[in-house]
């Protein structure tokens, strides 16, 4: 029997209950993950949860061409993150009375819808012409839909992965990082084969959206076969046992008891959440706005932001998929400390923009961007993996969704702070 230890950094709550619920969870022999199918599904769902956002952000050069008077990437960030944040708050308060499966399927369907809207509007109304701001309004509406869908999908996927062994949370994290790498590779390919005029930019953007739609359809298929996999079904049954036991002890959940439970969960995960908030507040303050607009290269020209975005995404993937396996962090305080230390990226990028000529050259900026991505991925994977294990098993899903809520606060704060870089 494997005995779970209380993770370092857990300072509140009933540790005896925590140990009992997770030891019950871990002590039951479970079916093997044949062909690593469950791992692959969570990896694909991780990819799918961020593909739409990456498609919009990577198409920013086309949207900038269409609407030259607008800081389009920063507007996208605020529209997306506000809806993402508000939706997550609503989801958390009603999570105990709604089905995670239903939420995820609705979110994936909304992803398909928003990814269809933009190319259809471009094909019917905009047709690659500048200044058609009716198309801009609809595009922002599609970004809003994507933000709501992301809350439904990412919150549900992270929440359900939190109920499983740690490797499945790592699969989700690796998938989210891989989505950025995939879109970046597509961007490099399209920039190489299409001319960088209005028609070429339009074809590139439409290709991103087409690939994203295909990916969403794959996600819908994968998610709806996940419950048939024995290992996933096994852990869901364990959770049902624990929930049934708690209901027999304490009675059914009411609105009052659920509010009390939510407060207890938030108290347990607050430091994990604070670390995640800080990570994404720093990251989104810089990426993608500062990287795409504020640093320049006379040598690389318009390839420069594409290279920087690709470098960030590749090192984010290394931080999420490789580094935790080589050097795992088991103490939440270390993870939170690293997240606070990332505030140093603000003065570093200020030096890259306004400092001596050497620091404004390509190599220092690429190195700093690599570190931005690496630390983002590493600490995110660490804290997301530790958080669900800091609460009893029956609350692991809500703990997972709560970390995504803290993440969304960080994204929202970062999207606001990103405007401070605008000259």
In a domain, 171, yes or no: yes
Instruction: Give the pLDDT confidence score for residue 28 in this predicted structure.
Output: 55
The percent of residues in the chain predicted with pLDDT above 70, rounded, is 89
Kindly state the helix (H) or strand (E) to which residue 366 belongs, with its residue range: helix 362-386
HSE-up of 202 (CA within 13 Å, CB side)? 14
Rounded Cα distance between 365 and 361, Å, is 7
CA–CA distance, 16 with 205 (Å, rounded to integer): 53
Q: Is 20 among the domain residues?
A: no
Report if residue 299 sits inside a domain: yes
Q: How far is CA 265 from CA 12, 90, 280, in A?
A: 9, 16, 21
With both helix axes pointing from N to C terminus, report the angle between 72-94 and 133-161 in degrees, rounded to the nearest 10.
40
Residue labelled with tokens 């959940």: 253
Is residue 104 within 8 Å of residue 152, measured between CB atoms? yes
Q: What per-residue confidence (pLDDT) applies to 4?
A: 44
237 vs 314: which has the higher pLDDT: 314
At 254 the pLDDT is 64
**Mean pLDDT within 244-268:** 74
Considering the domain boundaries, does residue 127 fall inside one?
yes
| Dist CA 275 CA 186 (whole Å) | 32
The pLDDT tens digits for 156-181 are 999 889 888 889 999 999 999 999 89
Render pLDDT for 271-286 as a digit per residue (tens, 0 to 9). 999 999 999 999 988 8
pLDDT score recorded for residue 253: 64
| Cα distance between residue 310 and residue 332, in whole Å | 29
Residue 216 lies inside a defined structural domain of this protein: yes
Cα gap 8→28, rounded to integer Å: 24
Indicate whether 19 belongs to any domain.
no
Please state the pTM of the whole predicted model.
0.85
Span 314-321, average pLDDT:
95
Helix (H) / strand (E) containing 64: helix 60-66
Average pLDDT of every residue of the chain: 85
User: How far, in Å, CA of 359 to CA of 65, rounded?
Assistant: 29
Total domains in the fold of the chain:
1
Report residue 132's pLDDT band, with 50, 70 and 90 as the boundaries: confident
15 occurs within a structural domain: no
Higher-pLDDT residue of 235, 293: 235
Q: Please check the confidence at residue 397 and state whether its pLDDT lies above 70.
A: yes
Closest CA to 172 of 277, 28, 324: 324
| 304 assigned to some structural domain | yes
Confidence of residue 290 (pLDDT cuts 50, 70, 90): confident
Whether 13 has a pLDDT exceeding 50, the answer reads no
Look up residue 338 and give its DSSP letter. Answer: H
DSSP state letters, 205-255? HHHHHHHHHHHHHHHHHHHHHHTTSHHHHHHHHHHHHHHHHHHHHH-S--H
What would the pLDDT profile of 341-355 be if each residue is shown by its tens digit? 999 999 998 898 888
Position 110 scores a pLDDT of 96
pLDDT of residue 128: 85
Question: Residue 409: which CATH number?
Answer: 1.20.1250.20
Q: Are 196 and 302 in contact (CB under 8 A)?
A: yes
Q: Which domain holds residue 353?
A: 34-421
């Amino acid at each position: 029997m494997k005995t779970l230890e209380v993770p370092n950094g857990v300072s509140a709550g009933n540790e005896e209950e925590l140990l009992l619920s997770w030891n019950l969870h871990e002590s039951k022999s479970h079916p093997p993950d044949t062909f690593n199918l469950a791992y692959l599904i969570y990896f694909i769902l991780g990819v799918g949860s961020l593909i739409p956002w990456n498609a919009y952000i990577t198409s920013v050069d086309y949207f900038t061409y269409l609407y030259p008077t607008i800081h389009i990437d920063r507007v996208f960030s605020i529209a997306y993150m506000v809806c993402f944040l508000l939706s997550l708050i609503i989801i958390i308060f009603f999570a105990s009375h709604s089905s995670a499966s239903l939420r995820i399927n609705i979110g994936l369907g909304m992803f398909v819808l928003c990814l269809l809207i933009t190319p259809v509007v471009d094909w019917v109304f905009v047709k690659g012409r500048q200044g058609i701001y009716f198309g801009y309004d609809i595009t922002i509406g599609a970004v809003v839909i994507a933000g709501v869908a992301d809350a439904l999908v990412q919150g549900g996927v992270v929440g359900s992965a939190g109920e499983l062994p740690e490797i499945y949370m790592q699969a989700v994290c690796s998938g989210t990082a891989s989505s950025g790498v995939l879109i970046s590779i597509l961007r490099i390919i399209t920039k190489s084969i299409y001319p960088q005029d209005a028609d070429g930019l339009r074809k590139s953007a439409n290709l991103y959206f087409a690939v994203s739609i295909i990916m969403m359809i794959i996600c819908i298929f994968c998610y709806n076969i996940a419950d048939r996999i024995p290992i996933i079904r096994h852990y869901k049954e364990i959770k049902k046992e624990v929930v049934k036991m708690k209901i027999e002890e304490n009675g059914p959940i009411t609105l009052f008891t659920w509010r009390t439970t939510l407060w207890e969960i938030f108290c347990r995960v607050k430091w994990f959440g604070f670390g995640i908030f800080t990570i994404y507040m720093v990251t989104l303050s810089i990426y993608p706005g500062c990287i795409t607009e504020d640093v320049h290269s006379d040598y690389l020209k318009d390839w420069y932001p594409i290279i920087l975005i690709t470098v960030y995404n590749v090192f984010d993937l290394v931080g999420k998929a490789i580094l935790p396996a080589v050097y795992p962090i088991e103490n939440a305080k270390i993870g939170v400390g690293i997240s606070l230390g990332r505030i140093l990226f603000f003065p570093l990028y200020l030096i890259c923009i306004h400092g001596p000529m050497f620091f404004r050259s390509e190599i220092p900026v690429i190195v700093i961007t690599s570190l931005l991505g690496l630390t983002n991925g590493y600490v995110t994977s660490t804290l997301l993996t530790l958080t669900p294990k800091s609460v009893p098993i029956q609350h692991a899903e809500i703990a997972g969704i709560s970390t995504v809520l803290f993440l969304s606060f960080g994204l929202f704060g970062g999207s606001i702070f990103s405007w401070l870089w605008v000259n």
